[in-house]
Amino acid sequence: MSSSKLIIWLQATRPKTLGAAIAPVLIGSSMAYDKITFSESLALMTLLGAILIQIGTNFANDYFDYIKGADDENRIGPTRATQAGLVSPAQMRFAFILTFSLAAIVGVYLTWKGGWILLLIGIISIGAGISYTGGWAFGYKGLGDIFVLVFFGPVAVMGTYYLQTQTSSLPVVIASLGPGLIATAILVVNNLRDMDTDKVAGKKTLVVKFGRTFARYEYLLCIATACLVPLGLYSLNEPPYVLLSSLILIFALPIIRVIFTSIEGTVLNKALAHTGKLLLLYSVLFSIGYLIG
């Protein structure tokens, strides 16, 4: 494979979105770290599986959005490989099938270590990754926000913690909402930017259904509630240093101002990237706070 082709495929993985897969694994692993059953190698395999599912989902979205006409010459977001003619639809279809197959192989190992619940999580996660824009396409029916909240929050965090400990707890459930909410905020920016083209393509996101004002307040609610999650944990006698993750609100304020004042695609692209960085920062600060607490 030539270097230019490799770059195309690397860009098609959408590296800026991979933080959404990394963040919940970091949080779940940090909460399980002090348990005698914790395994660093198992944590790394969990992270690999999560990243592969995210990349597979990105490839599937690239393919199905092109097939369904959601990505066309009017697209204002980052380049999609299939829509731009850089990769053929057949190649992209093969890529997402291959990537999900690799994720399934990792899933076999995780199932061996964690039991049938991990098998169920893996099957549902891969199925949801395909069905987001393909098959039932719930991303086209206004259910994408719920999908992101659930799978990048409770499913990923609680699944990671359970894999290490074979148990769960109320603090883990509460902590899982943080990354899920910020990941949902990422989707909100994406859908806010694509509102006009999604409307034409029949992609009925919540922004299309309820308008820009709704989306802006949804974004604000997601970020603000995520910042309240550490306070809830602190009230349950969890380590006080988890409150460090609430500091992302300082960095979120300029992004919130942009969300409420701009509809320009290039500006919202930057807001999208910055929100992705917020999610990573949140998970790192949370993990550090939990480990030193």
Residue 83 sits at φ, ψ, to 5 deg, of -60, -35
Strands (E), the chain: none
Q: Is the pLDDT of residue 129 over 90?
A: no
- The model's pLDDT over 148-184, given as tens digits with 9 standing for 90+, comes to 999 999 999 999 999 999 999 999 999 999 999 999 9
**Rounded to 5 degrees, what angle do the CA atoms 93, 95, 97 make?**
70
Q: What percent of the chain has pLDDT over 70?
A: 96
- The model's pLDDT over 218-274, given as tens digits with 9 standing for 90+, comes to 999 999 999 999 999 999 999 999 999 999 999 999 999 999 999 898 999 999 999
Q: Find, among 181, 183, 153, 148, the residue nearest to 276 by Cα.
A: 183
Which domain covers residue 170, as residue numbers? 3-292
The total of other beta-carbon atoms located within 10 Å of residue 49's CB is 28
Cα–Cα distance for residue pair 191/197, rounded to 1 Å: 10
Cα–Cα distance for residue pair 46/55, rounded to 1 Å: 14
Q: Is the pLDDT of residue 3 over 80?
A: no
Instruction: Report the number of distinct structural domains present in the chain.
Output: 1
Contact between 37 and 113 under an 8 Å Cβ cutoff? The reply is no
Per the model's pLDDT, the better-predicted residue between 65 and 279 turns out to be 279
Q: Is the pLDDT of residue 56 over 90?
A: yes
Q: What average pLDDT score do residues 78-99 get? A: 90
Q: What is the CATH number of the domain that holds 282?
A: 1.10.600
pLDDT at 131: 86
Q: Is the pLDDT of residue 72 over 60?
A: no
Q: What average pLDDT score do residues 193-210 get? A: 90
Per the model's pLDDT, the better-predicted residue between 174 and 69 turns out to be 174
pLDDT class of 77 with cuts at 50, 70, 90: low
pLDDT class of 138 with cuts at 50, 70, 90: confident
Structure tokens at 230: 């550490």
Model confidence, pTM:
0.93
Cα–Cα distance for residue pair 247/239, rounded to 1 Å: 16
Cα–Cα distance for residue pair 229/289, rounded to 1 Å: 13
Cα–Cα distance for residue pair 191/147, rounded to 1 Å: 14
The CB-based long-range contact list for 246-250 (8 Å cut-off, 24+ gap) reads: 247/285, 248/223, 248/278, 248/281, 248/282, 248/285, 249/223, 249/224
Query: What letters, b where the CB count within 10 A reaches 16 and e where it falls short, cover 236-262?
Result: eebbebbbbbbebbeebeebbeebeee
